[in-house]
Structure 1
Amino acid sequence: MVKEEKKRPAVRFKGFEDDWEQRKFGEIADYKKGPFGSSLKKEIFVPEGPATVKIYEQQNAINKDWHLSRYFITSEYANRLSNFKTHAGDIIVSCAGTIGEIYELPKDSEPGIINQALMRVRVNKTLVTNDLYKILFENMIGEFSEKRSNGSAIKNIPPLADLKPMATYIPSKDEQGCVGNFFGNLDHLITLHQRKLDQVKTMKKYFLQNMFPSEGETVPKIRFKGFTGDWEQRKFGEIADYKKGPFGSALKKDLFVPEGSDTVKIYEQQNAINKDWHLARYFITSEYASRLSGFETHAGDIIVSCAGTIGEIYELPKDAEPGIINQALMRVRVNETLVIKDLYKILFANMIGAFSEKMSNGSAIKNIPPFADLKPMITLIPSRDEQVCVANFFVNLEARITLHQRKVDQLQTLKKFMLQNLFV
């Protein structure tokens, strides 16, 4: 017996019970890929003027901003490319760079010509609303990409010959309105919290640049009231002790044993990256751990990832169990007679940032200097009381960042759940 295909979503708004209708993507919208690159060569571009037409590029779709403009052509030449014209209400989709980004041109957007890296979509509004179409299209891209790239996050858009006959399900116009509004409100909330998160991150960056002395200076530009003295020069080798994990041969997989009452956990870079001491994959016997006692780590130690996502810093909390660091970690024990841990973590992160920028020509890739370079590096530290004020300020700022990030993550999880359950 052939199993009947499901035509209703698992979750619905009250009052809707009818089956969703099967349609092809070729029925619910018209698609147009941009012209061949030879039609929009650089020598054809002209300065912006009263008789020019803008070229829409993938940056407009990716950044969700129609104002972005780099290239223009004459109105006369644009007439020859009228099939590739786009205007308010059209949906443009990036087909190069960050593929699959979708953007509906708003009412106040100016007409233009799409380039070869865009696809224009005009929705058949007698069948489906723009808002619902965008969700259906995103879902289709997600499923198609997952099949084509073995679960990778890289998006792919099917060729038009494959896209147009693809089936999708759409509800009544009233239900479309409810579903579209729900996701519109959810996206607005996500954008709102993401904006707050970005603002606090920008604030943190500003204060990191101004609440610590610049190169060649001994006092910061911004200080808490009551503090006036110069900051004291110290070497990183004075303010902390550093230990890299053992060679890989000391922790080969054949040495690992199942977790038990007489085992010791191995701390890995995932603990530093995810800021979570509970994560545990590998264990060794207590007897073997005693041979590696020089690499032991415990509550209060700071661990730093030296592989994968390099430079992630994590202080093991009071309830963390002791363990042995692996070859991809560095253990740091702060000299708390000179500097408090919360301030040390900021100084260390600043040092990694400055060192990485010099070593990688401004790239965002982090690098940790070798011990021979790290230990003699100079940093500046204030009085104990000022250390506490500065550190507390950044701890509170970090808590706000974590709060907004958690909210964004929760909303993204909710959106993912509803996308899976509000559609057939």
Structure 2
Amino acid sequence: MSDYTTDGKGQNTMGKKLQPKLRFRGFTDAWEQRKGAEVICVRRDNIANPPKDIVDVELENLIEGGGLQGDLSLRTASTSVFHEHDTLFGRLRPYLRKFWFANTSGVKSGEIWSLYSSALKPEFLYALTQSAQFLNQALQTAGTKMPRAEWKTIAEAYFAVPQAEEQEKIGILFQKLEQLIDAEKRKLDLLQKKKRALLRQIFEQKLRFAGYNNPWERCRLGDITEFADYGIAASAIPYDGTVRYLRITDIDDETRQVNIYELPSPDMKHRSRKEDYLRQGDLVFARTGASVGKTYLNRSDRDDIVHAGFLIRFRLKDNICPEFIYQQTLGENYRKFIAITSQRSGQPGINSSEYADWTLYLTSIEEQNQIGGLFGQLDELIAALTQKIDLLMIKKKALLQQMFV
């Protein structure tokens, strides 16, 4: 058993006893440095005529951080084989960290490695490929526009590995953690699908709360708005340690999560007006670029958020439920409106008068509140599940750092 550590490039250097920071109770032996070619193999089998029903895994099917998505039915000319319990690793753009522990056999893209080992437990190998010691080697890529991990780099690198019993415990731990993450992702997906179905049924008035049968009235967004205004640039906002700057460029269409940025500099020369700050219930629309059609409802009662210059704020009248209007903007009717209106030469854009002409439907304020409350609660559940998944991913990353050398 060697008493070595590595220099970050996978080369042997003399060092202290090689062991991770966090271990299962009862394990104290040093980990052994093994050359990649000794413990990891890449499968190079091919099948001439894959069966029609065989699983076909392409790069787009691999999920960042582990797992599968999308259609796995045969739809390519892939003939490269993988076996059950192989680790599939996306070698094209390896920084995306795409991998999957195969629970079946099938064919795959040539841009995916199918890894196996006769020296390592399969589950441990899968966890190892997610560790920094493996990814650091995979990131030593060839090519610039389409970087690919090179097998020679992996084969010549050194990896620290424990004895079989500890391998098994580590592998099982990360398998259970990933299964938990997958289960939470499935819950999130089902909840998002349920919300989309309810949006369609409720705003097409096919499904209503008991006791409501009045017809909905057609109106314009501008008819129910006190005022609309454009956002202001960050350079026009003073920074006093509390002001936050709203951008919805990268808002997530499913979770509705949005980044709110702290202003970058304390030496802003201009003062913003109190009217520039968002009030609870303000509805904000993106007006230029790829973000056209994205919306944001300010649910916060804080008054320290200023909307960016490429946004339009609508402040609704007092007898209108903001949540009801916001959720209506997520429906298909609104998406069709955006698709038509945003078609322009050059960069797409929508101005405030065009948004004000958007047609929507109103019911009584009581039913508005019922509908808004329902979708608000669903959004809270979606946000909570998203946060739980994020925390589990952070925990997994921390364990990978602590349990591998």
Q: What's the TM-score, normalizing by structure 1? A: 0.74
Letter in 2 for 1:136: L
* Aligned residue identity for 1:380: Y
Shift of 1:58: 2.0
Q: Give, in whole Å, the separation in 2 of the partners of 1:47 and 1:277.
A: 50
What residue number does 2:127 align with?
135
2:113 aligned with 1:119:
yes
Superposed, which structure 2 residues align to 1:100-119 within 5 Å? 101-106=98-103, 109=105, 116-119=110-113
Partner of 1:222: 207
Structure 2 Cα separation of the partners of residues 132 and 22 of structure 1: 15
**Structure 1 partner of 2:230:** 244
Aligned to 1:69: 74
1-structure distance, mates of 2:172, 2:29: 19
* Conservation of the 8 A alpha-carbon contact between 2:231 and 2:312: yes
1:10-409 to 2 correspondences below 5 Å:
10-33=21-44, 48=52, 56-58=56-58, 62=62, 63=68, 68-70=73-75, 85-96=81-92, 101-106=98-103, 109=105, 116-124=110-118, 127-139=119-131, 140=133, 142-144=135-137, 157-213=148-204, 220-240=205-225, 241-246=227-232, 248=233, 252=235, 259=240, 265=243, 267-269=245-247, 273=251, 279-282=262-265, 288-289=270-271, 295-306=276-287, 311-315=294-298, 317-321=300-304, 324-337=306-319, 339-350=320-331, 352-358=334-340, 369-409=350-390
User: Could you tell me whether the CA contact under 8 Å between 1:93 and 1:102 is conserved in 2?
Assistant: yes
Q: Which moved more, 1:61-70 or 1:160-169?
A: 61-70
Q: State the one-letter code of the partner of 2:231.
A: G
Distance 1:106 1:180 in 2: 15
Distance 1:164 1:212, change over 3 A: same
Give 1:198 deviation, angstroms: 0.6
Match of 2:8 in 1: none
Q: Give the counterpart letter for 2:297 in structure 1.
A: Y
| Superposed CA offset, 1:46-99 (max 9, x none) | 984xxxx958442696237996223689xxxxxxx9xx5544344443445897
Aligned pair in 2 of structure 1 residues 60, 235: CA closer, same or farther (>3 Å)?
closer
Q: Which amino acid aligns with 1:314?
A: L
Residue 280 to residue 379, structure 1, CA distance change in 2 (3 Å)? same
Tell me the distance in 2 between the aligned counterparts of 1:47 and 1:123.
Answer: 26
2:65 aligns with none
The structural deviation recorded for 1:24 is: 1.7
Indicate if the aligned counterparts of 2:93 and 2:147 stay in contact, CA closer than 8 A.
Answer: no
CA distance in 2, matches of 1:92, 1:66: 17
Which amino acid letter does the alignment assign opposite residue 116 of structure 1? Answer: G
User: Which residue in the other structure is 1:418 paired with?
Assistant: 399
Offset, 1:137: 1.7
CA contact (8 A) 1:95 1:119 kept: yes
1:208, distance to aligned residue in structure 2 (A): 0.5
Distance 2:245 2:389 in 1: 29
Q: Aligned-pair RMSD on alpha carbons?
A: 4.0
Letter in 2 for 1:231: W
Task: Give ranges in structure 2 of 5+ residues lacking alignment.
Answer: 1-12, 63-67, 252-256
Deviation (angstroms), 1:25: 1.7
Measure, in 2, the Cα distance between the counterparts of 1:385 and 1:325.
30
Shift of the 179–317 alpha-carbon distance from structure 1 to 2, 3 Å rule, reads same
The alpha carbon displacement at 1:345 in A equals 1.4
* 2:301 alignment partner, SS class: coil
Judge conservation of contact 2:45–2:81 (CA < 8 Å) in 1.
no
Q: 1:335 to 1:67 in 2, by over 3 A?
A: closer
**How far apart, in 1, do the equivalents of 2:120 and 2:168 lie?**
10
What's 2:6 paired with? none
**Counterparts of 1:411 and 1:393 in 2: how far apart (Å)?**
27
Q: Following TM superposition, by how much is the alpha carbon of 1:169 offset from its aligned partner in structure 2, in angstroms?
A: 0.8
SS of 1:119's equivalent in the other structure is strand
* CA deviation after TM superposition for structure 1 residue 344, in Å: 1.7
CA distance in 2, matches of 1:64, 1:276: 26
- CA contact under 8 A between 1:233 and 1:380: conserved in structure 2? yes
* CA separation of 1:332 and 1:417: change in aligned 2, threshold 3 A: same
Q: Which amino acid aligns with 2:89?
A: V
User: Structure 2 length as normaliser, TM-score?
Assistant: 0.77
Displacement of 1:328:
3.0
What is the alpha-carbon distance in structure 2 between the residues aligned to residue 277 and residue 71 of structure 1?
42
Where 1:289 maps in the other structure, the secondary structure is: coil
1:335 to 1:114, Cα distance in 2 relative to 1, 3 A: closer
Q: Which amino acid aligns with 2:216?
A: W
Change (3 A) 1:258 1:172: same
Instruction: Tell me which structure has the larger Cα radius of gyration.
Output: 1
- Number of equivalent positions: 373
CA displacement at 1:8 relative to structure 2:
0.9
Q: Secondary structure at the match of 1:332?
A: strand
Alignment match, 1:76:
none
State the identity as a percent. 19
Bigger fraction of residues in helix: 1
